[in-house]
Chains A and B, each alone.
Chain A
Amino acid sequence: MHILPKADLRRLTGALAERYALYGPVCHEVSGEVIFDLVDDPSRIDLDIPIPYNPPKGVVFPQAERIMSFSYDRASKAAAIEPEALAAPKALVGLRSCDLNGLLCLDRFMLGQEYVDEVFLEHRKKMFIVSNTCVHPFPQCFCVCTDSGPAAVEGFDLDLTDIGGEYLVLTGSAKGEELVRGLGLAAAPAAKAALRAKAVEASVALFDAQAKDNKAWISRAVNRLTTGFIPHEVWEYIGDQCFECGACAFVCPSCSCFNIEDAAEGEGRSCRTRAWDSCSFEGYARMAGDHNPRKAVEDRRNKRFFCKLSFSQSRKYLRPGCVGCGRCVRVCPGDIGLPNVVTAIRRESTKQVPHE
């Protein structure tokens, strides 16, 4: 491990900015809101501010992205298909552990199945990641309940832990090591290096106060969902409150449903765009001939929460898709959010099985 004086963070971000498009948590220049954004000025990145409102997934999986251009001249029958050339390498600085885990979920899903998603891969392959240990949780957090924080375990090039006045720097890759060497960072003495584990422990202890109740119940909810023991009323209760806005999927660092649309651009040209979608939408699974297998809103709601708590991620990787960031709580007009779903499951289940 190495030491980076806090005042020198600028050197780190500056060095990255030379080689990468630099992204990190910032306070918005006009509104002061905490968001994860592209920065021109590396000193804007602030690792002390709370977790950004938008998930960093937008960098690798943009909200709407042109992925292909077509041209077809019907007169001459000349057809051409061009995939969009993709952008510069990117550095994501200050990812908190939940968000890094979200990214790893996306990696596993987009890259680790039968097919590789080539568009995602383009974004992902030339990337530098600096994670940031949460030395204290924020009010909406429950990463400890989903096994995704408060400190990163894998997937970073560098990992920073604030030990007061300086950061402990953990390297996670050859790229990371090279940068540490380049910056000439001092090695951390053993006593200091041990502080990372201490900081994590202290942070975990702080969760106890805020993440009791519904949140601690997550692993049991996962069990129940996976074994299929959820009464229909739970989904109905949740479905009634859903406004079908899609936000919970959009803000979720591990949600990756998308839509694809082609649009004509005139003179035989057209383009293919892919964009965030949500399985909570009625039109999502609608098919020709008035056949929608997932018509009732509670069926669709349960799809997403099923997915977060049991399916695609956990079926293959033994972890829930939810990484405990708490974002879907804050954006939900229906006051749902994953922790409330867990509460609802718990309420119904304990009603059914009084001795649990």
Chain B
Amino acid sequence: MIVAEPKPIKEILEMVRDLKKILIVGCKGCVTVCNVGGSKEVAILASTLRIAAKKNGKEIEIGEETLERQCDPEYIEEIKDIINDYDAVISIACGVGPQFLSERYPATRVFPGVNTRFMGGAIEHGIWSERCAGCGTCVVHYFGGLCPIARCSKSLLNGPCGGSNNGKCEISGDVDCIWDIIVRKMMEQGRLDELLEFKPPKSWMTARDGGPRTMTREELVK
């Protein structure tokens, strides 16, 4: 899933300081699963903004909507009849949401209510960890099914650096050295020799480095 976290409330309050009618839009996709942008969180943010307005003696009207997804135009369409009733929208979907909303409703001011962090998963309830950097040409099968691009601080492809220390990365004792894990796993599977095969420099053309990406699948295009 795409993992996000709430923006500091102060930052959101500053964004909408002079606005009176605000629509908060959540998303039932990834951000619902990572407890940051679903209908519950829409209600929490709405309540928080109402309390802030009361405290500051301001009148405020807040609408609450949660769309099936904010990364598909048909769902963005669902608020077309109400969006003009508001001065602005706060989207608490990942960074895709505010952009799809901005593109579909060019006259509306759209603010992001969350910080989008990474592609990853929940290693336990309430703790998420990065797994994929979206490089565009997946190679995890060379590394015991683990990704050194997303999970090695230096994205090394030919073994650990000299900083690997007791299973931890040299950048911080809190960060696992993925190369330590890869080597152990390959040893367990009796495939350590496969790691000796030299991996030439990876082409980053399919990653973000190749510029903004689009993808077309002709068999799906109407």
Are both chains from one complex? no
Taking beta carbons and an 8 Å cutoff, which residues of A are in contact with B? none
